[in-house]
C-alpha cells in the first residue's frame, strides 16, 4: 500500500504514477501510515480479485461536491466508503433454479442454483439422495477450476469432491455446497500467480499467498450459511479436515454436531501442499 502526500496533484501527475515509467521519474512523496480509507482500498481490490495493492492519493478537495465535479470532468468513478461496508451487510442470496441431476455415483441427486443481488458468482447446492434435514451431513467445497475440472495433481480438491459424492451416496445422503471462492477466496488469476511463485521459488501455498499480499484464507462463509438456512438446516455434520470451516459456520448459529474427516491419497505433486495444510493451516489429515 502506498499513500501519496497531500500536495495538490494534477490528472497528469496521476497518469505518470500509473503509467509504468521508470521509478526515478516518480518524485511525489509517499507516506507510510495507513488509514481507514487505505483499508477500504485494499478491501475493494480484493473484492475485484485483483492483487491487494492500491495507490491512495489525498487530492485535498475542499468539499465532496468539488470531488464529484473533478471526477466527472476527468472520467473517474467515485465510490463512497459506506458502499463497501454495506456490501456484506446487504448480501442476499436467492434461489434462481433447480433440477434433478444424474451423477455417476448418485443417480438420485439435484442441483439448486443461488445468485446474489450484488453481482457475485453463482453458488450451488448439490443434494445427494433424500436426506433428513436434521443433523444432515454437509460438505463445504470451494471451487477449484484446476483441480475439479482439469484434474490437477497439485491439489486434492477433485478427489475430495468426488469422494464426498460417493460417501454421501453410500450413506443416507447429504448436501455438497459448491461455493465459488477459487483459491481460498483470491480468485483464479491470483491462484495461478501463487502457483507460479511456488514452482519458481520453492514456496508453499501459504507463503505464496502471503507474498502476493493475501491472508491465509480470504473466503467468507456467509454464502454457505445463507444456503443452509434456505434449505432449512440448523444442525449438521461437517465433512472436512479443516477446523477453520467448523469455526466459521458455527459463527452463523449452526450446531456442528460432528466433524467427519477425509483421508486423501498423496502423490508426488500434492504432497507438500497437503503437508502445508496440516502444519500451517491446522488441517487434521
Cβ(175)–Cβ(164) under 8 Å?
no
> Among 219, 229, 255, 280, which one carries the catalytic annotation?
219
Q: Over 183-218, what HEC string results? A: HHHCCHHHHHHHHHHHHHHCCCHHHHHHHHCCCCCC
> Among 148, 156, 204, 217, which one carries the catalytic annotation?
217
193 annotated active-site: no
217 annotated active-site: yes
Give the CA distances from residue 103 to residues 127, 165, 211, 261, in Å, rounded to whole numbers and listed in that order: 11, 8, 39, 23
Residues with a catalytic annotation lie at 217, 219
Amino acid at each position: 500500500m502506498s499513500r501519496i502526500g497531500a500536495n495538490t496533484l494534477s490528472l497528469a501527475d496521476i497518469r505518470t504514477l500509473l503509467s509504468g515509467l521508470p521509478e526515478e521519474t516518480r518524485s511525489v512523496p509517499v507516506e507510510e501510515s495507513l488509514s481507514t480509507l487505505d483499508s477500504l482500498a485494499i478491501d475493494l481490490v480484493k473484492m475485484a480479485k485483483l492483487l491487494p495493492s492500491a495507490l491512495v492519493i489525498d487530492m485535498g478537495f475542499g468539499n465532496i461536491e468539488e470531488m464529484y465535479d473533478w471526477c466527472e470532468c476527468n472520467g473517474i468513478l467515485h465510490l463512497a466508503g459506506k458502499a463497501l461496508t454495506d456490501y456484506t451487510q446487504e448480501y442476499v442470496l436467492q434461489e434462481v433454479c433447480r433440477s434433478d441431476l444424474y451423477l455417476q455415483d448418485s443417480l438420485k441427486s439435484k442441483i439448486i442454483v443461488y445468485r446474489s443481488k450484488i453481482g457475485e458468482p453463482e453458488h450451488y447446492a448439490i443434494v445427494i439422495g433424500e436426506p433428513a434435514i436434521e443433523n444432515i451431513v454437509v460438505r463445504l467445497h470451494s471451487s477449484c477450476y484446476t483441480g475439479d475440472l482439469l484434474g490437477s495433481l497439485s491439489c486434492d480438491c477433485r478427489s475430495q469432491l468426488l469422494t464426498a459424492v460417493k460417501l454421501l451416496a453410500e450413506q443416507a445422503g447429504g448436501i455438497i455446497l459448491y461455493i465459488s471462492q477459487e483459491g481460498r477466496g483470491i480468485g483464479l488469476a491470483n491462484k495461478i500467480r501463487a502457483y507460479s511463485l511456488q514452482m519458481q521459488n520453492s514456496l508453499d501455498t501459504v507463503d505464496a499467498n502471503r507474498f502476493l499480499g493475501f491472508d491465509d484464507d480470504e473466503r467468507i462463509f456467509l454464502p454457505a450459511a445463507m444456503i443452509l438456512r434456505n434449505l432449512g438446516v440448523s444442525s449438521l455434520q461437517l465433512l472436512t479436515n479443516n477446523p477453520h470451516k467448523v469455526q466459521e459456520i458455527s459463527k452463523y448459529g449452526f450446531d456442528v454436531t460432528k466433524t467427519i474427516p477425509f483421508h486423501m491419497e498423496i502423490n508426488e505433486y500434492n504432497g507438500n501442499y497437503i503437508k502445508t495444510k496440516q502444519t500451517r493451516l491446522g488441517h487434521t489429515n
